[in-house]
Amino acid sequence: MKILVCVKQVPDTGARFRPNPAGTWYAEADLAFRMNEYDEHAVEEAIRLKEKLGGAPELTVLSVGPARVVEALRKALAMGCDRAVHVDDPAAADRDPWQVASVIAAWARGKGFDLVLTGMQSADRGSAQVGVLVAERLGLASATTAVAFECDGQAATVRRELEGGTRGVVRLPLPALVTCQLGLNVPRYPTLPNIMKAKKKPLEVVPVAGLLDEAPRAETLRFYEPPRRQGGRVIEGPLDRLVEELTAILKERALPARS
Amino acid sequence: MKALLVCEYREGKLQDGIYEAIAFAGRLGAGRSVLLIGRETELPRFDGKVIFADVAEAGEYHPALHRDLVAEAARREGADVVVLLHTSYGWDLAPRVAAALGATQVSEVVGLAEGGYEVPACTSKMRRVVRPRTPVTVVTLQPGAFPAGDERGGVPCLERLEVPKAAGAPLMGYEASGPKPVDLGRAEVIVSAGRGVGKKENLPTIAALAKALGGELGASRPVVDAGWLDHGRQVGTTGQTVAPRLYVACGISGAVQHLAGMKRAEFVVAINKDREAPIGEVADVLVVGDLHQIVPAVTARLEETR
Amino acid sequence: MDATREIYWNVGRGAIGPMYAVALVALALLGWGGWRLLATWRKGRPVARLDRLPARLAAALRDLVGQGRVLRGRGVGRLHAALFWSFLVLFLGTLLVMLQADLTEPLLGWRFLQGGFYLGYSLVLDLAGLVAVVALAALLVRRALLARRGVASTPADWLPASLLLAILLTGFMVEGTRMAATELSGAPTLARWSPVGLAAAALLAPLGEGDLRALHGALWWGHLVLAAGFIAVIPFTRLRHLIAVPASVVAASQRPRGQLTTLDLEAEGATFGASTAAELAWKDLLDADACTDCRRCEERCPAHTTGKPLSPRRLVQTIGHAARTDPAASLVDAVGKDAIWSCTSCYACEDVCPAGVEHPGKIVELRRHLTLMEGDLPGDEVRTAAEQVEVNGNPLGYPPGDRAAWAEGLDLPVAGDGTRLDLLYFAGCYASYDRRSREVARAFVKICRAAGLEVGILGTAERCCGEPVRRLGNEYLYQALARENVEAIKASGAARVVTTCPHCQATLGRDYRDLGLDLPVEHHTELIARLVAGGRLPLAAAPFTATFHDPCTLARQLGVVEPPRAALRAAGATVIEMPRHGRDGFCCGAGGGRILAEERLGARINVARAEEARGTGAPLVVSGCPFCLAMLEDGIKAGGGDSPPRARDLAEVVADRIGGGA
């Protein structure tokens, strides 16, 4: 059995973002990067499956991006993946989800993966498209937003998180792709011997040039901070006015209740 | 410009999101038709064309089949834009439809901007304006971003869509998530109580506000330490890290451990008697006053206007 | 007649053979038992604790003979010291008897126990015996009283003092019977030099000589058997500390207090930390035998005294039990994870231990095993914090780009700007991001400027010093952070460093040496005290009252106790001490990486400490550590809302008294 895990390296979301000079994405200076949290759950789930199936599956972790993404790949290897593929794309930030999915699909095609796992979305772009698009391009069955996952080697049973405290139970014959929601599992903390071992695991670098055959389908015109939090508004005064203003603000900001 | 608006139908019920899609199409100034994979007995209140496929044949969740139905309807209608809500149904289906139509997908649209769609980025800390480069665009709308106004009304004219035979449906059924520790991490609205609530007996007041806003009750560390609430509701580095759309901090001064746990909230309202409390630095709105008077009054107002 | 006595009076020289036979059996048992102890210790990992042996021996001799460690415990320490010194005298006296009776007299015909020397000898030994009897009696009474306080004693606890008392009492009886039969009538002047023996003799005098001789013979042999028995049971009872404590003191760490071993992370096939007794160092196993169960560590342990499942004493004894029975058994199970994670690394246990036991190092080894080998941490919150340190370089999860935001408007030189820094201020995570500690940082800069000192900062190149994660066992993350900091500090060209956090100070100044940084690192309270003493800081002193909370790392690891107090007094303070202060100070609860963890077990340490501060009646509790400050503020609020005291850093107090402002 062969399993592919696709991970993205993203800035820590605690960061303060500033637009790049072109105003199309964030400037990378002063940002701290980490593995996309959703993808960490995908890595963990793949490793658990490998452990459950007696170590038989081979786990490949793949990431598209500039040289820095190797750190995320190393972490996945330290957690327990067997080999890593770095699709080296210095301009990855300019690719749209369609292109990224096409690159991944172009690499994975014909390699016989039985299962592809990835996060349901990234913390920075948050399009929630790449996973499904990879499945569509490879002709795999797929399901998104997994909060529980089982696999017997023939088929996968996925519990999808739906709105309002409900789960949809979905069964996919392999080969299939599943995108992982937060809370699917608790990603492990890599042990030191595994961190050291990870340094010796194979990490293949593939230039993006041979895999990228699609033009972008969308472009970013502007990237900016939404106008808010201008030092915060202070409301003081008599009680009835406070109540009046606060009620209005809360109504505006709270989601309309879904029925 | 022509828009195809896709209904969501779940557990035997038409979901309300379609009215937001209708409102959005109105904002776009596009011609509107609706696709319903549902039941003939439950139609959206909409004065226009509803393309109808029977859920008994197509299932509530059958991605490949639904993809083909939406794509077929979009082609038939000559839609320039296909609209879904950014929900577990929408984000699952939209990329498939986009791939089938050779279209761009723009996810979680929150607004219309010059030249394109406005979408959030970096956990809503930033925004992007995206311009599609394909003739057809699939968009998913952030729920609540295009509130439905008085669109609900009218009698649709129905047009049937044949459901092709498909391989076995993947959906095996639904189940409740069941009782589990409160997951504040994904709550959209959180109302948190801090030491300023004074005593355990005051907590129901805060909980009532949380309920009125459709949110979860959270707490700062001192409240949990005091045993007024269990640890499952603690917000902060030592509790849960949260990123709600709206965070209401009641009587929380803003210890660094707490701030670190809620600083990813999109909009922060603080109610505090101390104007200088550190929470004021991260609050978008700081209400200076006595929360024991303010909170019950606001809760009552919210409940009466629902 | 020359003052002396017949050594084998009454028992005769025929007793020498059997006497030595008994002694040999005792010594053989001692040797065998000692060998077994040694074999147990050798089950541990090698560690260089016998290097520079002459210096170690000299230091140990000074400490043991001086009873320095023992005397840290006031009452019982004095009793032990009195006992130790008197037995030292008795031992030397007995050695002299043996020397004369069995060596110099039979072989050379030389007797030295006579004349004036013998008189003095008699008196000194008699008095030493008396002191020992009194001390032992007091110890036994204390033990009986302990039972009333709920500290149960086992027969093993009663044995050492009881046995020693029996030896002394039979000794005096032997002397008394001999004197009653001889000196009392034959040499009354001589008898006066043995006052205790004389008293015993007076008591026994009514007996006739025949009875006295019979009684003396029986007592002599009884005394001998008791003494031999004492020697024989040393390795098998708590008395083994007579061997193990000197060994432990000789093998004591000669590195600065609190310095951990820097692990070689690249070592092939290595395991890290310890999960079994066999994975600990031999000194750790030796420590278990040195422990006398005296409970001083327990009484001071912030975890133990607030009802957490950690007892440093039990930890050490659990290790000892494992070393003796099954050195490959899991210590993590035997000690318990909750106990392992409860330690605040305050070093009160190690500091107070009379036996030279090093407790915190053992905890760190167990934690290293858990974090490095099992990826285990005390809770999700700690895991998140550790990840934040890894990603953002600080446990609070703030962006590294904002690290210097606290200094906005101060126009401080930043390393890398092309400026060469002389004095580098390593702000640390709390001063960089925590609103409260930022005020401390700004106050400190104000002080430096008032004294004409220009401090520079590393700006966004600064990372967490790594101390909290290291104390939690994550040596890997610590070393990664340390290497970045070492590089940045070296590149800054700074000649010296100052911090407002003792954890940063200890880490930079002491621990980074292993990683190639060799710069003097000062705590801001030391610098401020120096500036004040040197008259470089114009203070408008105004009288106020304050108590000082000693940060554990500052007082017990770095030995800085007086400077902050001196600075406080210079600012006009009357310092009221808390019952536990200085080297005996009580932790705030945040050390040992606990600042990152939720305190789920027992009572809260910071509340206990805040109450102690409140008890002084001082309106102000001053400290010099951002962790202490956060914990004290929290503890004060939890215990009494807005009522005093108020917690402040020394820098804030001093900065307030600088005229003009900066």
- The answer to whether C172 touches C197, Cβ cutoff 8 Å, is yes
Identify the burial level of C140 via C-beta atoms within 10 angstroms of its C-beta, where 0-12 means exposed, 13-18 middle and 19 or more buried.
Answer: middle
- Whether B191 and B217 have beta carbons less than 8 Å apart is answered as yes
* Torsion sign over Cα C637, C640, C646, C647: negative
**DSSP per-residue letters across C104-115:** IIIII----S-H
Q: Which residue has the tokens 């023996």?
A: C197
Nearest CB to B237; choose among C397, C600, C634? C397
User: Which residue type, as a one-letter code, is found at position C262?
Assistant: T
Which helix (H) or strand (E) is B74 found in, with range? helix B63-77
pLDDT above 70: percentage of residues in chain C: 99
Sign (positive or negative) of CA dihedral C327, C329, C330, C331 = negative
Query: How far off is chain A from B108, nearest CA to CA, in Å?
Result: 7
Q: Quick check: C399 and A34 CB within 8 A?
A: no
Q: What would the pLDDT profile of A23-44 be if each residue is shown by its tens digit?
A: 999 999 889 999 999 999 999 9
Pick the closest to residue C347 from C140, C546, C583, C181 (CA basis).
C583
Q: Decide: B70 and B164 in contact? Cβ < 8 Å.
A: no
CA distances from A121 to A77, A159, B265, C248 (A): 21, 17, 18, 58
What's residue B289's pLDDT? 86
Indicate the pLDDT class of residue C662, thresholds 50, 70 and 90: very low
pLDDT grade for A258, boundaries at 50, 70 and 90: very low
Tell me whether residues A189 and C383 touch, CB distance under 8 A: yes
Q: For chain C, give the number of residues.
A: 662
In chain B, which stretches have pLDDT less than 50?
Answer: 179
Closest chain A residue to B241, measured at CA: A14
Q: How many angstroms separate the CA of residue B237 from the nearest CA in chain C?
A: 6
Kindly give the residue spans of alpha helices, DSSP state H, lying in C510-598: 524-533, 552, 562-570
Please give the biggest Cα pair distance in chain C: 100
User: Which sign does the torsion angle of CA B164, B166, B169, B170 carry?
Assistant: negative
Residue A133 CB partners (closer than 8 Å, separation 6+): A97, A98, A101, A102, A105, B95, B98, B99
| B64 reaches A (C-beta below 8 A) | yes
What's the pLDDT tens digit per position in C402-461? 999 999 999 999 988 777 778 999 999 999 998 889 999 999 999 999 999 999 999 999
Residue type, A238: P
Q: Is C327 helix (H, G, I), strand (E, B) or coil?
A: coil
Measuring CA to CA, how many Å separate A192 from each of A61, C266, C279?
A: 20, 10, 17
pLDDT confidence band for C334 (50 / 70 / 90): very high
pLDDT tens string C542-581: 899 999 999 999 999 999 999 999 999 999 999 999 999 9
Contact at CB, C401 and A33, closer than 8 angstroms:
no
Ramachandran bin of C393, using left for φ above 0, alpha for ψ from -120 to 50, beta for the remaining angles: left
| Strands in C406-469 per DSSP E | 423-426, 455-456
**What are the chain B neighbours of C597 within 8 Å (beta carbons)?**
238
- Measured in angstroms, the CA of A152 and the nearest CA of chain B are apart by 16
Q: Which residue has the tokens 């009663």?
A: C158
Token code pair at residue C331: 């210590």
Say if residues C130 and C122 touch (Cβ distance below 8 Å). Answer: no
Residue of chain B whose alpha carbon sits nearest to that of C381? B238
Residues 6+ apart with CB under 8 A from C92: none
Q: Cβ distance A62 to A84 under 8 Å?
A: yes
- CB distance from A169 to chain B under 8 Å? yes
- What gap in Å lies between CA C437 and CA C504, rounded to an integer? 14
**B250 vs B220: CA distance, rounded Å:** 10
Q: What is the largest CA-CA distance in chain A?
A: 70
Q: Is B135 on the interface with A (CB under 8 A)?
A: no
Instruction: Quote the pLDDT of residue A30.
Output: 86
- Chain A residue nearest residue B270, CA to CA: A234
In this prediction, residue A231 carries a pLDDT of 63
Sign of the Cα pseudo-torsion (A72, A77, A81, A87, in order): positive
pLDDT in tens, B16-57: 899 999 999 999 999 999 999 999 999 999 889 999 999 999
Q: Which two tokens stand for residue B79?
A: 């839609």
**What is the distance between the alpha carbons of residues C589 and C610, in angstroms, rounded to a whole number?**
11
* B276: Cβ contacts below 8 Å, ≥ 6 apart: none
Q: Which residues of B touch A136 (CB under 8 A)?
A: 95-96, 99-100
Q: In this predicted structure, what is the pLDDT of residue B180?
A: 54
Confidence category of residue A252, pLDDT binned at 50, 70, 90: confident
Mean pLDDT of A100-108: 98
Tell me what the mean pLDDT of segment C254-262 comes to: 93
* Other Cβ atoms within 10 Å of C203 Cβ, number: 12
Residue A118 — φ and ψ, nearest 5°? -160, 175
- Facing residue for A191 by CB, picked from C374, C391, C399: C374
Q: For residue B261, give how far its alpha carbon lies from the nearest alpha carbon of chain C (Å).
A: 9
Cβ pair B127:A170 closer than 8 A: no
How far, in Å, CA of C552 to CA of C348, rounded?
Answer: 8
- Tell me, yes or no, if A137 comes closer than 8 A to chain B by beta carbon: yes
Q: Is the pLDDT of residue A229 over 60?
A: no
Query: What is the chain A residue with the closest CA to B17?
Result: A258
Selected residues 183-212 of chain B with any CB under 8 Å from a CB in chain C: 195
Does A93 lie at the interface with C, CB-CB under 8 angstroms?
no
Averaged pLDDT of chain B: 89
Touching B: which chains, 3+ CB pairs < 8 A?
A, C
Confirm if B299 and B205 have CB atoms less than 8 A apart.
yes
Confidence of residue A230 (pLDDT cuts 50, 70, 90): low
The secondary structure of chain A in percent helix, strand, coil, rounded to multiples of 5, reads 30, 30, 40
* Burial of C78 per CB tally in 10 Å (0-12, 13-18, 19+): middle
Residue A125 pLDDT > 70, yes or no? yes
- Min Cα–Cα distance to chain A from B51, Å: 24
What pLDDT sits at residue B274? 78
Cα–Cα distance measured from residue B59 to residue B64, given in angstroms and rounded to the nearest whole number? 11
Give the neighbor-by-neighbor strand order of the sheet with A83-88.
Answer: A203-207, A83-88, A58-65, A2-6, A115-119, A176-180, A141-151, A155-161, A166-173, B171-176
Query: What distance in Å separates residue B165's CA from the closest CA in chain A?
Result: 17
pLDDT computed for residue B238 by the predictor: 63
Contact B281 A26 (CB under 8 A): no
Say if residue C49's pLDDT is above 60: yes
In the prediction, which pLDDT does A22 show? 94
Rounded (10°) angle between helices C524-533 and C435-450: 30
Interface residue C546 vs chain A (CB under 8 A): no
* Rounded-to-10 torsion of CA B8, B13, B15, B18: 70
Contact of B54 with chain C, judged by CB distance below 8 Å, is answered with no
Q: Which of C306-310, C374-378, C499-503, C636-640 has the lowest mean pLDDT?
A: C636-640
What is the dihedral sign for C-alpha C624, C630, C633, C636?
A: negative
